[in-house]
Structures are given as C-alpha cells and as structure tokens.
Amino acid sequence: MRNLKYIFTIILATLLFTSCEDEQRYLGSPRVKFGTSKITLGAYSDIFYVVPGTSTFNIDVQLVSAPLDKDVTVYINVLNDLSDARSGIDYSIPAEVIIPAGSNLATLTVTGYYDGLKDGTQDIRQLVLEVVGSNGIPAITTPISAGNKLGVNTYTLTLRGLCPFIPEDFEGTYEVYEQSGYETDPYPLYDVDVTLLSTEGSVGTYEVMGLWGEQIPVTFNIDGSDPFNIKINIPKQAYATHATYGQMWFEQRSQGTVNACDMIINTNYKVYVDAGFFDQVVWSIWTKK
C-alpha cells in the first residue's frame, strides 16, 4: 500500500508541475528564449571551434507558446560587458531572426572567422548573446540555474580557432600527471621526452622516454585526420623482461585524446605480463612544457 501511495503522490506532483508548465507554455502570453545546447544537456553555452576560413554555429531560438498565425521577429543583442569577441573580426551575427507563422523555432547562425581568432592576440574569445522579444512578445529571463545570474534569454558561446595537427609540434618535454587504478593518490608529477619518429599522411609516430617512471622507450601514434577528434593510440608492445614473470607488455587501455591548441595528451595504459597486471594507469595526462 505504501508503494501505491508513493506512486500516486509522484503522479499527482507530476500533474501539478505539468499543469503549471502547460499554463506557462500554452495558456500564458507567448515569450521567447534560447534553446539549450545540442552538445551539453541543459546548458545555455557551447564551444564553437572555428576552422580555417569561416565556420558556422547554429543556436535555436524558441517561441514558448502554441504556434502563432504570424511571423515573430526576435532581435539579437550582444552583451558587450561580458564579451571579448570582436564583431566583424572574430564573428558576425544577424541583428534578428524570424520564427515563421505556425512554428515555434528559428535558427540563429553565428559565423566565426579563423583568421581573426588566430591573429596572434588570443585564440579563445567569449560571446554572450541575448534574445529580445518584439511585437509585444517578451523574452523569458528566468535564471539558467541557481548559481548563474544569466537568464535563459542568454547564450554564452566560446569561440576558439581550431588548432591543426602539426606532428613536429608534439616533440619535446611533457609534465605527466597520473592516477593508478591501484592507488588512492596520484603519482608524483614527472617528465617524459617525446620524439617524432615518422609521419604518414595525418598520422605521426612517436617515441616517449620515461613513461611509468622508467627509461624504456614506448612508441605511440597520433592520428590528426579529424581535427575535431585527434586521437592517441599506444599499441601493444614488448616493454621489458621481468626476472620472474618474463615478458612485460605495455598497451593503451582505451582511446585517448589530444588537444592540439594546449598541447595536452590525455591517455591511459596498462603494464602487464601473461600472469597478471603490474599497473593499470587510468589517467595519464601529458602537458607540454
């Protein structure tokens, strides 16, 4: 019986909440707001990676009501006191978008300019946008969250010039932060040296010396064929010979990623013999010095 009452309580609360939402959405006066991120659930912000040339990023603008029988013009403002992106240099946007009659949705297209973002000043800039209603249709200004004073009528876009994969740039000394699956605390920071061995197309093959705190060379490759998803792979390879357990092996545990702008390699690996594991490093983050 307790479960039945519990379920009834949830249903009643849901109906009341839905009723309030429906009243706001359909019975109240129409209002406008931004749609949430297509990448991060519930967020009113995103990162816009701008590739060489020009790139575009689309943001939804929503009419919160039943569709109307007329077009709705929604004006777009830039909150300049919160933005450092430069209009006409880093980006451009239209002054307004139109939600067509019979629809609840329009698309705001932000155009980003790679040459502006990579002009030697700074390649990360912030753009905070605001929707403003028109024709008697206001914007919803409800805060995005308890800790965020900005409303759902705003959208924060971080523009970043996408960094191409240049194999030679990844040579050098890296500081390594590691966490073992067998230890509570991370290992002390230490350095490794990375040398480029060869390139084939968009893939570079490297040797790293000093990984796992040992001066034993480990080979790996970086695949930059997809600039939005640069990957590191450490194939299975012979590592050393243990006096008791024989051949030791070194191998990546799961797919790693590479940040070509900040020169950060994020990977993981395992060191093992046929009889079992010496270590399973769940995080191995290399930051170039």
Percent of residues, the chain, with pLDDT higher than 70: 90
pLDDT of residue 10: 38
Beta bridge partners of 139: 32
Task: Please give the single-letter amino acid code of residue 256.
Answer: G
Whether the pLDDT of residue 256 is over 60: the answer is yes
CB atoms within 10 A of CB 235: 11
What residue ranges do the domains of the chain occupy? Answer: 29-161, 167-288
Task: Give the DSSP letter string of 184-248.
Answer: SSPPPPEEEEEEEEEEETTEEEEEEESGGGS---EEEEEE-SSTTS-EEE---EEEEEETTTEEE
pTM tops 0.75: no
3-state secondary structure of 114: helix
3-state secondary structure of 13: helix
Give the separation between CA 158 and CA 274, rounded to whole angstroms. Answer: 47
Q: Which residues pair with 144 in a beta bridge?
A: none
What residue type is 224 in one-letter code? G
Any alpha helices (H) in the chain, and if so which ranges?
2-22, 114-117
Work out the pLDDT band at 28, boundaries 50, 70, 90: low
Domain topology for 29-161: Immunoglobulin-like (2.60.40)
CATH number of 167-288: 2.40.128
pLDDT digits (tens, 9 = 90+) for 6-21: 333 333 344 333 333 3
Cβ(173)–Cβ(289) under 8 Å? Answer: yes
Q: What is the mean pLDDT of residues 191-216?
A: 97
Summarize pLDDT for 119-163 with one digit per residue, the tens. Answer: 877 779 999 999 998 878 999 999 988 778 799 999 999 999 888
Mean of pLDDT values over 217-228: 94
